Structure 1
């Protein structure tokens, strides 16, 4: 009878583990998988141990705020949560990903050194209010940046800003520029391609969307970015690409999208 009680106790213990007895590193790993808003508003308030863990700057090497449509908070609250997370990181943040509330104020608060001096990855999706000038000033503070994703609507990113990014972020390996709305007329987006080719020779991965691209711009990228491994032009309007240029893309770029477009029958023919 006693043995049965002991076995039953073991089973109950297995079914209802004591989360406070988990190793600190494991708890930290679990918490880091949550969205930053969930950590700040809920998880860290569970118990004194979790509160203490969430005060560790190493907890904030990654700051992700996404799916805000399902979060019952306004932009002001989200800005405060983001600023609090940046402060808690004490300069250790390496990866920032924000969706739907990127603004000049966000850039302004992040940039002053040493708040994010170790930043290596930055993704800002759906910038709603930002200035080209602020973006230029912002990137100057992050020489270690390796990956940059910017999704925007009506605003444009100038050639000057992209050249500043290229010069100030020499380690940049991945660039994703996604404009959600095509311009009604052919815009001066050729400057974007030339700026990339001129200052970002170390790129390995490039994705462009919502941008007009002609042969001369694409050729500049192929010539001046020799390390390029992947090129995604799925959301671009590529006009008047010659058969020889298509063939070169197929031969030079390992991961090319949309590859079917470049593998049309005229890719096998000479100009």
Structure 2
């Protein structure tokens, strides 16, 4: 009960309301019962999604009734779940419950560590007005599932993908199915020094493919973040030529981009008010901004490649990755020479 009281008081204090209930009303479990419904709604809108589902609605009948109001579920935020005492299946059920309660009024959805095609299908089958979708480390969500979902998200304006498995193929199809997309985040872990493969790029692997996909399909973007991307100058140039409305562009840790080598490209970038260059400070980045360290030495058997400095070659510090994971935008690191991979 104390945690519930603290959550509600924090919500009330963060609102523009000034509450002065009597001592009797201050008792946990009944002080909100004395508030007008619209004020209670304003306070409870500031309480977290899981807290509303697992705590708030259980305090009293009036709180339970208020928690059925779809206004409380227009924004669903289920992130930072690793320390919560719930299984993944329980988290998915909570998310589905919250979506159901929105009754088609959901505008903003943020999920982390558990997103899947199954959850997105549940979302689109319930109807929604979704304008913003944030997916963080949703490693069970692939191109097909997200593409099928966005086809039925006609109002989507913002898509934020962090450390996912959506490839350049998925990005292009998303862009073609979301003509109103205004903001895209497609962030991953940076790598320095930049990785260089020892194969011929004629085999179809091109580190600027994601940039080209964005340039071909998202001309209305106003905000773009490609933190840690491996694109070259040609990919950046394609974006700038095809997305003339950009107001912010974050290419921090895009270490293949060499602005000092191209004055015209550099000038275009710095003309954007919210431009963050490759070597810009990362102190304000919300996730771990440490980089993978090393250079490609060679591609090994079964599609593995190895990353590490020259001093790490043939040592236990040598990193092992699956090349498809890397090109598919999720680097999965193993240790030593034969572990790694998925």
1:230 aligns to what? 248
Match of 2:35 among 8, 17, 22: 22
Q: Structure 1 87/103 Cα, relative in aligned 2: closer, same or farther at 3 Å?
A: same
**1:138 matched to 2:138:** no
> Which structure's residues are more often strand, by fraction?
1
CA distance in 2 between partners of 1:173 and 1:37 (Å): 29
Aligned ranges for residues 33-182 of structure 1 at < 5 Å? 33-112=46-125, 115-153=126-164, 155=165, 157-180=166-189
TM-score of the two chains, using structure 1 as the length reference: 0.83
1:216 aligns to what? 234
Q: Retained in 2: the 8 A contact 1:200–1:225?
A: yes
Q: Aligned-pair distance for 1:260?
A: 6.7
CA distance in 2 between partners of 1:223 and 1:160 (Å): 20
Q: Retained in 1: the 8 A contact 2:254–2:278?
A: no
> Which structure's residues are more often helix, by fraction?
1
2:4 aligns to what? none
1:249 aligns to what? 269
Q: Aligned-pair distance for 1:72?
A: 0.5
CA distance in 2 between partners of 1:239 and 1:23 (Å): 56
Q: CA RMSD in A?
A: 2.3
2:317 aligns to what? none
CA distance in 2 between partners of 1:212 and 1:169 (Å): 24
CA distance in 2 between partners of 1:224 and 1:178 (Å): 20
Q: Which residues of structure 1 form unaligned runs of 5+?
A: 1-10, 262-271
Q: Aligned-pair distance for 1:198?
A: 1.3
Q: Which residues of structure 2 form unaligned runs of 5+?
A: 1-19, 198-204, 281-342
Q: Retained in 2: the 8 A contact 1:44–1:54?
A: yes
CA distance in 2 between partners of 1:258 and 1:71 (Å): 37
Equivalent position SS for 1:101: coil
CA distance in 1 between partners of 2:178 and 2:43 (Å): 32
